[in-house]
Chains A and B, each alone.
Chain A
Amino acid sequence: MLRMVFAFVLQLGLLVGAVQAQDTTAPVEVDRSATGGAQTLEDILARQRGEKLDDSFRRNATGDPDIAAGITQQLGTLGGASDAEVWRQLRYGSADVTVSSGGEVASVLMQDGGMPWLTFRDGPLRQYGGWLLLGTLGALVVFYVLRGRIPVDGEMTGRTVTRFKFIERMAHWTLAGSFIILGVTGLLTLFGRAFIAPYLGKDINSFLLIYGKWLHNSVAWAFMVALVLVFVMWVVHNIPNRTDLVWIRQFGGIIGNKHPPAKKFNAGQKVIFWSVILFGASISVSGLSLLFPYELPLFAKTFAVLNDIGIPQWIGFGTLPEQLSPQEEMQFAQAWHAIMAFVLMAIIIAHIYIGSVGMEGAYDAMGSGEVDEAWAHQHHSIWLEEEKAKAAGSAKGATPAE
């Protein structure tokens, strides 16, 4: 439920960008008697100013013989439909279009979701996404300066305990490596034209995008496979329990000098785990929708479910659109994919920090898989005791009966 609420909030953020041309002011009342009911210069100017405009006077002005000029009049039609009506039908997606190939996608001759999407992609998405990543990096630098590397209290014991098996570490690095490749190639796709082409040239940008696209589309499968593996192997250790409350109350020992007890994964690691799983799954699903264009539409159905629940209306967004053209589905999928990826990248940057320079001994867990008992006692004391008890039980069981 929490995931759905969070997802919805982010979707609304996307919608704000997508429908920004319609959300600023109340509908503008325009006298159209001078144009015989057709749009006026004021209509056009209001639309260009991004004001909310009731376009039903155009949208519905199709197929009615009574509104057409008489056959004997200037610009009179030979029936109920005029060229202008046909164009309006095409413009608003109500024309009866038959195409010989290309399916439903090709039957959409005009769709006006493209410009809001492009405006969102080239504006807020780049701007807020970029600042989110830079802000995260900056915050970690500040944190490192203030807190320094979290040391292991006292001396290392020299005795180690196996933290992660080979298959666990391999799955982790498959997920990590693929995510970094996907993140870098995704950022190249989003920022390349703005930040690479002007400085390094269009040829280099083109080269990076051509091969980046292949990498992104292909490595995505490794990410999805590893995501499933990691989920299966670690979900049992990441179910919240009471020790998490203690960990959270003490800020995990990150602030201050306390070292709250924890099992195999502490509350902070559980947050990372569930973030990776939920954001990763959402990125994967929207990515699949993009990998197989127009074949896996997601958003019209999602919006319909949300509308039925009443969440958009409750927040004041009215009813979300439940009829989307195939192209709009792709636009929403791309924007959603990128938003989710930015958030997960920010989280993963923090994860990389704490697993490397931020904490002494943490890297060993995923490097060699063996951690010093002193480190384990400090950060995962309950898990260490469990491991010792298991080892003692095994040793006892291996002792020959007398």
Chain B
Amino acid sequence: MKAMFAGFVAIAVIAVGADLALDRAGFAADEKFAGQAVRLD
């Protein structure tokens, strides 16, 4: 069971890590498909 839980934790870590990393790397949808003119930030 420990291996199973470790696997599930790995899923969470990789998923969150990938999301954050891609976001920081400029792959967020608003970065890719919207110009500054239509940003709200």
Partners in one complex: yes
* Residues of chain A whose beta carbon lies under 8 Å from any beta carbon of chain B: 101, 166, 169-178, 181, 214-215, 217-219, 221-222, 225-226, 292-293, 366-369
Contacting pair B19 A218 (CB below 8 A): yes
What is the total of A-B residue contacts with beta carbons within 8 Å? Answer: 62
Cβ-defined contact, A369 with B3, below 8 A? yes
The smallest beta-carbon distance between B15 and chain A, in angstroms, is 4
Task: Report 18 cross-chain contacts, Cβ distance below 8 Å, ordered by A residue.
Answer: A172-B7, A173-B4, A173-B8, A174-B8, A174-B11, A175-B7, A176-B7, A181-B11, A214-B19, A219-B14, A219-B15, A221-B15, A222-B15, A226-B7, A366-B4, A367-B1, A367-B4, A369-B3
Residues of chain A contacted by B32 (CB below 8 angstroms): 293
User: How many residues on B have C-beta within 8 angstroms of the other chain's C-beta atoms?
Assistant: 18
Residues of A within 8 Å of B14, CB to CB, are: 174, 219, 221-222, 225
* A164 to B36 alpha-carbon distance, docked (Å): 53
CA distance A264 to B14 in the complex (A): 30
B residues sitting closer than 8 Å to A (CB atoms) are: 1-4, 6-8, 10-11, 14-19, 27, 32, 35
Evaluate whether A221 and B6 lie within 8 angstroms (CB atoms) in the complex, with A181-B11, A292-B27 already known.
no
Q: For the complex, would chain A's binding face be called helix, strand, loop or mixed by DSSP majority?
A: helix
Given A101-B35, A292-B27, the answer on whether A173 and B3 have CB atoms closer than 8 Å is yes
Chain B residues with CB under 8 Å of A171's CB are 7
The residue on B at minimum CB distance from A167 is: B3
Most A CB atoms within 10 A — which of B2, B11, B32? Answer: B11
> Which residues from chain A contact B27 at a C-beta distance below 8 Å?
292
Q: Is the CB of A170 within 8 A of B35?
A: no
Do A169 and B4 contact each other (CB < 8 Å), given the known contacts A101-B35, A174-B10?
yes
Q: Which residues of A contact B19 (CB under 8 A)?
A: 214, 217-218
Q: CA–CA, A101 to B35, complex, Å?
A: 9
